[in-house]
Amino acid sequence: MENRSVTINYEDYGSREELDAADRALLDAAIEAVSGSYAPYSHFNVGAAVRLADGTVVKGANQENAAYPSGLCAERTAMFSAGALHPGVAMEALAVVCSREGALTPNPGSPCGACRQVMAQYEREAGKPMRIILGSGGHVWAFNGVESLMPFIFNDL
Ligand code: THU
């Protein structure tokens, strides 16, 4: 038996201003997307934006339902929308922000496991790492590849 460990690398930016122009624009799209959140139960608003290989940006926001499990996270809303509207166009990057009572959360929110699984599939389709940008009212974290967020992800190959 051997003990092994996994190291996760990510970039920690002090604020959105430190990002390059493309990442900042995607983060801003995620912030705009919060306005589409429908969260009458949790009052937790999440916005997401996917950047495609051709530069198109597709936004999504969490959508809740009285039958709770029927709701969907912002990340999957954005990715499924991108997949449906732009089939076959690679998803290069995804930005996410969370908001409560009209203010971005003080720390980056981290995507749920189901959303990470969906990211992994589109990343595999794209054939290159998806950049994941998690914003907040302060720091911004960026991960190059879903494996950095979710090691040992399920993969049916
Ligand atoms: N939510 C997201 O949109 N993304 C996540 O990664 C985690 C949670 C949503 C689901 C629900 O509408 C609300 O946040 C509270 O869980």
CATH of the domain at 139: 3.40.140.10
Q: Report which DSSP code applies to 149.
A: T
Sorted by sequence, the CB contacts under 8 Å of residue 8 that are 6+ apart come out as 143, 148, 149, 151
Assess if residue 157 is contained within a domain: no
Q: Which atom of ligand 1 is nearest to the CA of 77?
A: 3
pLDDT at position 157 is 62
- How sure is the predictor about 66, in pLDDT bands with cuts at 50, 70 and 90? very high
What is the average pLDDT across 106-114?
Answer: 96
Name the residue range of residue 32's domain: 12-148
Q: What average pLDDT score do residues 42-54 get?
A: 98
pTM value is 0.96
> Which residue is associated with the tokens 């990340």?
75
Q: What is the pLDDT of residue 95?
A: 98
Task: Give the residues surrounding ligand 1 with Cβ less than 6 Å away.
Answer: 39, 42, 44, 46, 62, 64, 71, 73-75, 111-112, 115
Q: Can you tell me the distance from the alpha carbon of 31 to that of 69, in angstroms, rounded to the nearest whole number?
A: 25
Per-residue pLDDT of 133-149, as tens digits, reads 999 999 999 999 999 99
At 74-83, the pLDDT tens digits run 999 999 999 9
Both tokens of 77, joined, read: 């809303």
Q: What letter would DSSP give residue 88?
A: T
- In this structure, is residue 56 part of a structural domain? yes
Residue 107 DSSP code? S
Number of domains in the chain: 1
DSSP letters along 60-81, please? EE-B--SSGGG-B-HHHHHHHH
